[in-house]
């Protein structure tokens, strides 16, 4: 996650996408993630629909939403595709953030695990 979020512990994001979590709402997440290429639904809208930042302190949620709003379209689509694949198959998602000097890039790690590992590389402005 973004550097500021790491400082306040962003493990909540990994816990949110755990199918074993109490309150996990697979159908809600599938609705929010449908049609990854739909250009009328920005990443920030999908994050709101998912509810991943609900209940988080404003000093965490606001900068993250601002960061997501700046993501290149291709990175946002890739993230939504990875999330959709994981939620569809009831697999836990683990996010790994690597700070780089480039705009946000998203990739799925090809590890032989039961988790879907999503690598986010970039810099939070």
DSSP 1-18: --HHHHHT--HHHHHHT-
| Per-residue pLDDT tens over the stretch 34-77 | 999 998 999 999 999 999 999 999 988 998 898 889 899 999 99
The total domain count for the chain is 1
Top-confidence residue, 106 or 4 = 106
Q: pLDDT of 89-110, one tens digit each?
A: 998 888 877 777 777 777 777 6
Domain that holds residue 66: 3-122
Can you tell me which residue has the tokens 């970039």? 122
Q: Judge contact between 10 and 60, C-beta under 8 A.
A: yes
């Amino acid at each position: 996650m973004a550097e500021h979020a790491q400082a306040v512990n962003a493990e909540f994001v990994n816990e949110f996408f755990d199918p074993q979590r109490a309150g996990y709402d697979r159908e809600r997440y599938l609705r929010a993630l449908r049609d990854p290429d739909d250009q009328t639904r920005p990443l920030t809208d999908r994050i709101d629909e998912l509810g991943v930042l609900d209940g988080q302190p404003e000093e965490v949620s606001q900068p993250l939403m601002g960061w997501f709003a700046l993501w290149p379209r291709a990175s946002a689509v890739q993230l939504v595709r990875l999330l959709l694949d994981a939620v569809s198959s009831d697999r836990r998602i683990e996010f790994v953030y690597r700070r780089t000097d480039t705009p946000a890039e998203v990739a799925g790690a090809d590890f032989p695990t039961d988790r879907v590992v999503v690598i986010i590389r970039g810099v939070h402005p």
